[in-house]
Amino acid sequence: MTVTKAAVAVLGSANMDLVAYAKAAPRLGETVTGESFRTVPGGKGANQAIAAARAGGAVTMIGAVGDDDFGVQLRAALDRSGVDTVRLRTVPGPSGIAQITVDGAGHNAIVVVPGANGTVTALTSQDEAAIGAAGALLLQLELPLAGVLAGARAARERGVRTVLTPAPAQPLPDELLAVTDLLVPNEHEAAALSGEGDPRAAARALLDVVPEVVVTLGAAGCLHAVRGREPLAVPALKAEVVDTTAAGDTFVGALAVALGEGRPADEALRWATAASALSVEQAGASSSMPLRAAVDARAAAGHPVPRRRAARK
């Protein structure tokens, strides 16, 4: 069967990840000896772009890198994965970086310094045209809110679906929520945005402000909520966790591709969870993102059927 490629635009960050692996992450004031160190192209925007391209999408990246060596490497990593980087500007100054510690259980702690990402406060007409040519625009919160909002508005005006990952967590302006079609928070972001600790309650509460929500739950899978229906629980696949960095970005990139191909939401969600299961089994951000054939194989290897709870009276 021939599949028409999903056209995906990403407006977001590119960071060089400086990753230290240690048995236990240091507490404040503590120094620990690590086991290894590597630099890996990352940033939530670039990660989602690379994940979507490897999953089979036709992807354009809009954002900025600095005029340093990291900027050259970040652009090259996107190019190697087949992402169109014509709209990725190079600006004077340093590229964004993320300082990441990964502990023995694969969990991470991250400090991001925006660098060039902080210059993306407005869009050019060519950026807007690139958004208009896509079926979906993926957004995160590692660019200035003014830039994110400009992208979401440009997408809405052109009938392009907006998919917002609200990370790093921060209060969201009403204007941004008003032009968000699909919100994809993790459980902590969902709780922070909704004030509800229970993910199912959080998903329901978020439907007051956006029409569709997917709450990612790590090893517990995800919850899909749309107005007028009970949330659908999609279990995660079992995975040998090495490094959870960018698992959420991998999920969103793959989900955008599957939805852009017109697959039903439950099938798209199962496929995206297979992509994120593969990503946690590899170290690093962009270095962990699977190719389409691998996602197909992992998804086909088995997945329990998702369950929608009986509607409440």
Active site residues: 249
Please, what is the minimum distance in Å from the beta carbon of residue 201 to ligand RIB?
Answer: 25
25, amino acid identity: A
Please, what is the minimum distance in Å from the beta carbon of residue 140 to ligand RIB?
Answer: 8
| Residue 97 contacts residue 16 (beta carbons within 8 Å) | yes
55 vs 233, beta carbon nearer ligand RIB: 55
Peptide bond into 26 cis (omega under 30): no
68 vs 142, beta carbon nearer ligand RIB: 142
Can you tell me which residue has the tokens 């032009």? 179
Phi-psi sector, 82: left (phi>0), alpha (psi -120 to 50), beta: left
Applying CB under 6 A, the residues found at the interface with ligand RIB are 15, 17, 42-44, 47, 98, 110, 112, 142, 245-246, 249, 285
142 vs 261, beta carbon nearer ligand RIB: 142
According to DSSP, residue 171 is labeled: -
204 vs 250, beta carbon nearer ligand RIB: 250
Please, what is the minimum distance in Å from the beta carbon of residue 286 to ligand RIB?
Answer: 7
259, amino acid identity: L
HSE of 287, CA atoms in CB hemisphere, 13 A: 16
Please, what is the minimum distance in Å from the beta carbon of residue 47 to ligand RIB?
Answer: 5
| Residue 181 contacts residue 172 (beta carbons within 8 Å) | no
Phi-psi sector, 155: left (phi>0), alpha (psi -120 to 50), beta: alpha
